[in-house]
Structure 1
């Protein structure tokens, strides 16, 4: 009687790398969910703000200069960008800075996961949070205010993804340049308020004076909100607006890559 030989198959490098990453992702997700203010400002606050704007009667009235749309139509993409701004100027950089200051990133360099797993997990968590905020804003716009889904979906998605990339790159620069959580929060605030202005939170870009509008459209948020609004009404975003967001993403990403330190 013979028995068939058995051989143990070694796990592939990808499988070995995935297991520690999944463990870190689970841990980071639990920590994120235990901080209600972190996910409130990213996921809930933009939707709450859209609800507040929806209570203003004049925001729901059709405007001739907007092609029969109400001002509330403009605030759907603005609130989506607000979720990106809150995530990438406030919460995500502070977490990464805290890990570096606590030498957690340094210790992870000696583990199979590596410190990059933390960065990847944070990016994924906040990316999903922004997607959830986007879904909430779009659903509220459609269900409560009669805001249709983007007519040029491809153009809208391109604009959205570029804006997301630019926001993540901005957060990476803050995390790279700031040594302490306090300094990161201060710099984040200095980035957050101008970003909110250029995204149109206080005054939609379309309502700004021409000169100010042209200046704002040279910023990543100003160009992104213009591109998303163009796609919402059926036009493909202007190449210039997409190029502005792309150039900012590349420049910010390059700065983050050159200046980021694990310890």
Structure 2
């Protein structure tokens, strides 16, 4: 009888200790904490910060200087045309390229393997990356617009509808590109090959999606390939935000096609998530 009472007392004490123990934060809160850590680490790398924010600004400066004030058939200036292209390229750079390379390096350095062995929910890791991409994407876009409006008189959206369009294009574009970046991070066999594997398709997509070349001069078969990916549609939507309505005649369909853009970018968000779930690996191939 005495031993039974003692056993019950020990069980009660263990239950009381379990109830008194603090609960671990949820995935959302841990994601915020992880995001703050990712952002802090990003800004500690001075060269990376300079390159990230300078990339679209330098290209806008080059194109505006080369093509001058007027661009045939656009009804606008070169700076006005290329600010849309550079925002799109910047969004994909801070999401697809950045995540594709950084996650591959973290996997090769066994950072992902160690994180997977902690009580942190896997979702918190990805939320941290999304917060990093969102903050850097917003800051990069803001810096580009400030540069364009200050030096090249780039005209910002005049009404609330233009800003709303810019907002949903930004959210859908950066989400789809970020998920695609997470998915492609599993392709490189090592950290050494990550840059080559990720940068090459990104560079090709910029040329066939109308980032560097006027959309009406890109060969049709290239545009068809570019249409399979989000960058082409993101560029098209942003041109609709920053260019006059007459410039829509340059587009293959003769209009901005906002409905179709939303469907394609939304499909990439869903498809990118499925790709991540099917292909993402926490360990490098050498670890088995």
With normalisation by structure 1, the TM-score equals 0.81
| Deviation by residue 1:7-38 (Cα, 9 ceiling, x = unmatched) | x998676x565665555444433322232333
C-alpha contact (below 8 Å) 2:89/2:231 kept by paired residues: no
C-alpha contact (below 8 Å) 2:35/2:130 kept by paired residues: no
Which residue number corresponds to residue 214 of structure 2? 204
In 1, the alpha carbon distance for the partners of 2:259 and 2:165 equals 11
**Higher alpha-carbon deviation: 194-203 or 220-229:** 194-203
Which residue number corresponds to residue 216 of structure 1? 226
| Deviation by residue 1:208-250 (Cα, 9 ceiling, x = unmatched) | 3566545534431111111111133476753223322222332
Which residue number corresponds to residue 252 of structure 1? 272
Q: For 1:86, which of 93, 96, 109 is the aligned residue?
A: 93
In 1, the alpha carbon distance for the partners of 2:34 and 2:169 equals 31
Name the SS for the 1:60 alignment partner.
coil
Number of residue pairs the alignment of both structures matches: 252
Q: 1:215 to 1:26 in 2, by over 3 A?
A: closer
Which residue number corresponds to residue 9 of structure 2? none
Q: Larger Cα Rg: Structure 1 or Structure 2? A: 2
Deviation at 1:144, TM superposition (A): 2.0
C-alpha contact (below 8 Å) 2:107/2:282 kept by paired residues: yes
Which residue number corresponds to residue 237 of structure 2? 227
CA RMSD, Structure 1 to Structure 2 (Å): 2.9
Is 1:71 aligned to 2:81, yes or no?
A: no
Name the SS for the 1:65 alignment partner.
coil
C-alpha contact (below 8 Å) 1:105/1:115 kept by paired residues: no
Structure 1 residue runs of 4 or more that deviate by more than 6 Å after TM superposition: 8-12
In 1, the alpha carbon distance for the partners of 2:142 and 2:20 equals 43
Q: 1:11 to 1:135 in 2, by over 3 A?
A: farther
Deviation at 1:132, TM superposition (A): 0.7
In 1, the alpha carbon distance for the partners of 2:220 and 2:110 equals 49
